Structure 1
Amino acid sequence: MKIVAVIPARYKSSRFPGKPLADICGKPMIQLVYEEAEKAGCFDRVIVATESNDIMDKCRNLGLDVMLTSDTHPTGTDRVAEVAQKVDADIYVIIMGDEPLITAENERRFVASIGEKDADAVMLTAKFKNPVDVANMTTIKLAINDEGYLIFMSRAIIPYPKECLGYPIYKNVGAYALKKKHWSFS
């Protein structure tokens, strides 16, 4: 089974333009994300997908595999779909380009879990540790049923905490996997 990691890296972020190039301890953020994916050792190929010539040039200078994609994609998943039309794989693991704290170990465990469920997609999740963080509208909250399947997701608090929170609330950690056989391209 061929597994390709794609790292969507958009320059034109509305909240932080150029975020993938932000310096973290002397390296651009996108390099840290890429290096962890390479270190995981479970991908046949790791590709940065970007609409930006600046990001593409930086990646090339660093020796990272990079592909220029359309600047009209509304989401990172759309950017990955464009890559999937050009690069064949059975599974595409999407690792968000602004998630430098996802470790190679988490990526290895995540990839190993893909075959455990009969699902078209798998998402890396974590429980919120600080209840205050649940109110942060930039974090995607997940409603997961008892079998571990995603029911829905939202930037709003789900379910709405009418009373004391006596249950775990999960968040998307910034990585998910999609099986190509379930995609349809126009």
Structure 2
Amino acid sequence: MSSLPPSYAIIPARYQSSRFPGKPLVNILGKPMFQWVYERAISCRSLKSVWLATDDERIFTAAEERGVPVVMTAVDHPSGSDRIMEAATKLKLEEEAVVVNIQGDEPALAPEMVASLIEPFRDSQVEVTTLARVIDAEQAENPDRVKVVRAVNGNALYFSRARIPHVRDPKKKAADYLLHIGLYAYRLPVLRRFTNLPPSPLEELEKLEQLRLLEAGVKVHVVMTDYQGFGVDRPDDVAMIAAQMKGL
């Protein structure tokens, strides 16, 4: 095992959202949501720095006013991965760097989750990492909750909206269903390769971007965690998240 490579987090924060326009600026307990995410991320000691990547002058200005490092990026990126790749390029990150993609709608982010994403990169063979936790069969039925199955070495075999694995014999012990948590860390060359690839067939079928990696033969190492993500998807989620955050 070698030492950890230099690691950076980038938080994509676009203004337009079909379900919640202006979401990064929503006030939660006296701060815009992007500031909560930044402060939670920067407390992870495994990171050298954390940056916001936005496409909107309102978010850019608000970040500068609050001392949050921010990069302006294009408005037409098809995904957050493309946005963080542009930001990493503008920041001139080292070629050996690890880039963590932190969702901008996770104001209650646990810094330990970020540290656990980065730790496997001591192994030079690790290309990409993500997180998962155990859920029950009823939760696994929900197609909005993405499931993953792993090989014995921890690498992802497949991600799906379906409940996987399928237990054909009802007499068998129920499987451990693994909920995929959408945080990722990439070696910079792998992130660049990923964003240069066209959408893959399975990706387009399941509407899951991470399947592009598997179809291209990129290994995705899945780290198990007990932490839960609490994302803000709709305006109705704000009060619930604020109540949860009062105890942090």
TM-score of the two chains, using structure 2 as the length reference: 0.66
The Cα offsets for residues 122-177 of structure 1, whole Å up to 9 and x where unpaired, read as 1122222x544323333332222222111222334334566768112222323211
Q: What residue in structure 2 maps to residue 136 of structure 1?
A: 142
For 1:80-159, what aligned pairs fall within 5 Å after superposition? 80-87=84-91, 88-89=93-94, 90-116=97-123, 118-128=125-135, 130-159=136-165
Contact 2:9 2:50 in 1 (8 A): yes
Superposed displacement of residue 97, structure 1: 0.7
Q: What residue in structure 2 maps to residue 167 of structure 1?
A: 175
Secondary structure class of the residue paired with 1:171: strand
The one of 170, 183, 188 aligned to 1:180: 188
Q: RMSD over aligned Cα, in angstroms?
A: 2.3
Q: What residue in structure 1 maps to residue 43 of structure 2?
A: 39
Secondary structure class of the residue paired with 2:133: strand
What runs of 5+ residues in structure 2 fail to find an aligned partner? 197-248
Contact 1:8 1:96 in 2 (8 A): yes
Structure ID, larger Rg: 2
Secondary structure class of the residue paired with 2:43: helix
Give the percent of matched residue pairs that are identical in Structure 1 and Structure 2.
32
Provide closer, same or farther for how the CA distance between residues 30 and 147 of structure 1 changes in structure 2, counting only shifts above 3 A. Answer: same
**For residues 45 and 25 of structure 2, what CA distance do their matches in structure 1 show?**
24
Range that drifts further, 108-117 or 37-46: 108-117
Give the number of equivalent residue pairs.
Answer: 185
Q: What residue in structure 1 maps to residue 53 of structure 2?
A: 49
**For residues 25 and 99 of structure 1, what CA distance do their matches in structure 2 show?**
14
TM-score of the two chains, using structure 1 as the length reference: 0.86
The one of 70, 74, 79 aligned to 1:66: 70
